[in-house]
Amino acid sequence: MMRALDGKRVLLCIGGGIAAYKCPELVRRLAAEGADVQVAMTRAAREFVSPLVLQTLSHHPVALELLDAREDAAIGHIRIADEADVVLVAPATANLISRLASGMADDIVAAALLVARCPVVVAPSMNTNMLGHPAVARNLAMLASFGYRIVESDSGELACGYEGAGRLPDAEALVAEVRAALSPKDFSGKRILVSAGPTREALDPVRYLTNRSSGRMGYAVAAAAWRRGADVTLVSGPTSLATPRGVTRVDVTSAKEMYDAMLAHAPDSNAVVMVAAVADYRPREAAPEKIKKQNGRPATLELAENDDILAALGRLPGKRIVVGFAAETQNMVENARAKLERKRVHLIVGNDVTRTGAGFETETNAAVLVDAGGQIDTGLVSKDRLADMILDRVATLPLA
């Protein structure tokens, strides 16, 4: 199965801050996504993390010196910059940011950044007062004017004892930033609304009706849309998943709450991707107290039909792309095409949830993308990959 960064070369430039201790885990996570990682370090960075550890994890000698006899023939700082598909500067200290903004080339890291012509991601990390100083703000603005992607630091307790902004984001967040830097920005300036996860329909104060949706597919679509430049709102049923980086999340529980949230946000959206597995039915009345056993007597549950969110989205006035999902156990393509016409939407993603490795509670999925122009069989792919395939198709669809 193809990984997110397979075949990509990442140059990780480490500055001399305490947050450098996070870099071994960062290298490991980048490698786990398929990246070939080359590490370069400032002299100060070596005081915080061992080059030997980074060499072991990256499987490459760490670039340490601008003038290195071993690299003279290849001109090391040029070679590592030319070979990179993306550069990640983490942690970017105030001193390193200043030197990069000034165009200095006084060490291996600064010199490589002057050579690099690939996307550059800069992750500042420092004391919160230092981060807020006008000089640092000016230097970061200068780097942004170069086209560098500036990562917003996290807030919390800092190693220096201060509380506030300045923490280096964790490895997962930085990997997401690297992926975003390498992604096309074909949805830049667009607003995309995504739903995800199951809904829960209360039976009594302690029980509810739900389904097996984990939310992974919807979260993957939201993350992919953000990587591709969209302003993303994710309406999520109950899940254990972390909010994708850069995404605005709206939590709901019931189908009624999801209906209200989706219809509230859809009018301002350029595209709506309805991934959530919404309950078709709810108990007609939720019991005010816990329902007790009936001493062997059969229990009867009367159900009422929930509002059809996808159909309501298809009827909304205005122009936007609307995508629905069809989780099927038989006649998948026929049912998906019928749903496309019945709900008056632009694209239906049909998937056979009985297929091994597809559907609920898996890391992979297999789908058929059905629209008025035909259909595309995706085969079994990761949910991340399927999310991009769906968005690729959305980008080609004309507005109704």
Q: How far is CA 208 from the centre of its chain?
A: 30
Residues recorded for the chain: 400
- Report the C-alpha gap between 146 and 124 in whole angstroms: 16
Query: What is the DSSP code string of 326-379?
Result: EEESS-HHHHHHHHHHHHT-SEEEEEETTSTT-STT-SEEEEEEEETTEEEEEE
Name residue, tokens 């058929």: 368
CA angle 23, 143, 71 (to 5 degrees): 55
Q: Could you tell me which of 199, 233, 213 has the C-alpha nearest to residue 306?
A: 199
CA distances for 63 relative to 68, 90, 286, angstroms: 9, 15, 64
Task: Read off the amino acid at residue 41.
Answer: M
Q: Could you tell me which of 67, 49, 3, 47 has the C-alpha nearest to residue 29?
A: 3
* DSSP single-letter state for residue 49: S
Q: Could you tell me which of 330, 280, 355 has the C-alpha nearest to residue 310?
A: 280
Please give the helix or strand (H or E) that residue 233 lies within, else none: strand 231-236
- Report the C-alpha gap between 176 and 324 in whole angstroms: 26
In contact, 88 and 27? CB cutoff 8 Å: no
The catalytic residues are: 160
